[in-house]
A and B are shown apart, each in its own frame.
Chain A
């Protein structure tokens, strides 16, 4: 056997070396993530340090503050740091919350429909439709929003008296919470549907059959047994959708209105027609200011907030999915 040489036994691809090589790569990727967190937080620190907790609070016009910050970096004057992000955070909460609630309800019904009730031809149509909706680039959603939905809302849904009633404060043009929530719902619901329906398919048949055998009809069985058993999948999908919604920047930069204005529910129902701008689009809109040092820190501070929320979501999703694995699903 001495003379025989099989290349796969050669020292070049010895098992240990491969394992170490792959391990090194894995460590590199983990390190990259840690480095990203460290870099973003380090860059963001001056902004947080100068503002303290007031960073998250309200006060003043956030757009004016951003302008002052970037100008101070360019003119070589004393840096200005004052930044109160509440309007942006409030807008993020409203838009994300609205889209996730609408998305959750519709995704739950659609995935139940696909898995349990749709005739075969219908679910064969719906599945590619869901996959397609999930794969349309956000900029296309943004374009359709800005050219179709926004003018429609501005011209047909918002009435003149409504425009006049808030005329001194903000102008209602159609760039609105409503447009943002609708388009964002269409973007994140397919994501939820695919995860929900995986979860529903993995429910143990015996549980469902037991309920059916007791004479419970299929509709109630599905909601009382299958949907409950698939709860970890529902949590995981929702959390993922929240992360996607918080991080969505380009589409929202196009249709949310791009004004640092906190929509006020106290205005009555028309607050859904009010424009605003969430956190992520603020970065997109101010990307030219990255060379100005205080603006750079402020934008990284926004990024740090986004990163922190996304990380929380990922962690929650990961925990939910581990729980799912324990019960044999997914």
Chain B
């Protein structure tokens, strides 16, 4: 039996000694540098510490305000109209709205994003279309979400799509969970594509060749071998996408409605009456409850922002966990 020749996987240079982190003692200290260079290094330290300080300040400040103003019943009571902050209820509809929008948005973005990434990496013919697609994804990532939102008003106000929102005597309202989630999925799409693509590209060619050699088709290879291998990256992309979806405000403001409560469409079957109706999310609630919004209840804005921040922190932790696990399991790109 011939010993298999170990070739480094394509796309990875042969292992180079790590730079900058030379063995201890060999690292040149800054003592011999000129004053200007040392000042520069000090500036580096100052900025690094400033970044840390800003992050800590945001977390600690919102945490303190959240603990002070967040009441548990705010999470279970919907917003109401009233004259003082005690009468206006909580933001349960916003909380549920965020969950709905996140689920629907990612449910749209994930399959689409994976499909596009698979096509780009595994098929990618004709080459011109591949290049155009790359550029398109890049462009979608760069489009301001407010422009996506305006585009959404045009699409979802068309009579053909009236069944996705409230319509009244032929006039389509165009604001619904469907509309918002569809546009939000475009916000998450580039992140899913980029991450999945990175995962697929890091799988060495010989894995594919082994799969073809045992007679699997290309499609089967993608489905059974490549996507399961790239799962950590797909998960990372999904988490990043979720973070962007729950953090987006502009699309919600334009496409979900200027209300702080669910506004189900009468006469529709259960989940669809809510999904076709207008609603709100935490970001929208924070915006409206801030001094510049219509409600002006800063205390509740802090409480809702605190809940939102907890969600973001949770997603960040999840991304870290996925990353660490993948590294432990030893996939190709970690």
Contact = CB atoms under 8 A, between A and B. Distances in A.
A135 B241 CA distance: 10
A143 B290 contact: yes
A205 B19 contact: yes
Contacts of B249: 137-139, 249-250
A219 interface: yes
A29 B129 CA distance: 12
Contact of B247 (A23, A39, A116, A137): A137
Interface string A87-104: 000000000000000000
A147 B298 contact: yes
B280 to A, nearest CB: 13
A115 B19 CA distance: 9
A247 B218 contact: no
A23 B153 contact: no
B217 A9 contact: yes
Interface in B116-138: 116, 118-120, 123, 125, 129, 132-138
A54 B41 CA distance: 49
Contacts of A147: 290-291, 298, 301-302
A178 interface: no
Contacts of B243: 135
Nearest to B311: A137
A288 B32 contact: no
B220 interface: yes
Nearest to A193: B51
Interface stretch (B54-62, B85-93, B227-235, B261-269): B54-62
B194 to A, nearest CB: 11
A120 interface: yes
B143 A25 contact: no
A137 B37 contact: no
A6 B216 CA distance: 10
A186 B298 CA distance: 22
A140 B258 contact: no
B100 interface: no
Contact of A110 (B44, B132, B134, B139): B44
A56 B35 CA distance: 48
B30 interface: yes
A314 B147 contact: no
Interface string B149-166: 011011000000000000
Nearest to B59: A132
Contacts of B308: 137, 139-140
Contacts of A40: 147, 150-151
A248 B247 CA distance: 12
Interface residues of B, number: 96
A246 B144 contact: yes
B316 A26 contact: no
Contacts of B215: 6
A131 interface: yes
A190 B243 CA distance: 15
A62 interface: no
Interface stretch (A13-21, A69-77, A160-168, A261-269): A13-21
B238 to A, nearest CB: 14
Interface in A114-141: 114-118, 120, 122, 125-126, 128-133, 135-140
Given A19-B123, A135-B247, 19 more contacts: A8-B217, A14-B217, A33-B140, A39-B151, A40-B147, A109-B40, A118-B48, A129-B55, A135-B243, A137-B246, A140-B309, A143-B302, A217-B28, A219-B41, A247-B144, A249-B144, A250-B287, A280-B250, A303-B150
Interface of A: 6, 8-9, 13-15, 18-19, 22-23, 25-27, 29-30, 32-33, 36, 39-40, 43, 106, 109-110, 112-118, 120, 122, 125-126, 128-133, 135-140, 142-144, 146-148, 186, 189-190, 205, 208-209, 217-220, 240, 243-244, 246-250, 253-255, 258, 280, 283-284, 287-288, 290, 299-300, 303, 306-307, 310-311, 313-315, 317-318, 328
24 contacts: A15-B218, A18-B218, A22-B119, A25-B112, A25-B115, A33-B140, A39-B151, A109-B47, A110-B48, A122-B48, A132-B316, A135-B316, A137-B312, A139-B287, A140-B62, A147-B291, A189-B51, A217-B32, A219-B37, A280-B146, A283-B146, A287-B254, A310-B142, A314-B139
Interface of B: 13, 16-17, 19-21, 28, 30, 32-33, 37, 40-41, 43-45, 47-48, 50-52, 54-55, 58-59, 61-62, 112, 115-116, 118-120, 123, 125, 129, 132-148, 150-151, 153-154, 186, 189, 215-220, 222-224, 240, 243, 246-250, 253-254, 258, 283, 286-287, 290-292, 298, 301-302, 305, 308-309, 312-313, 315-316, 319-320
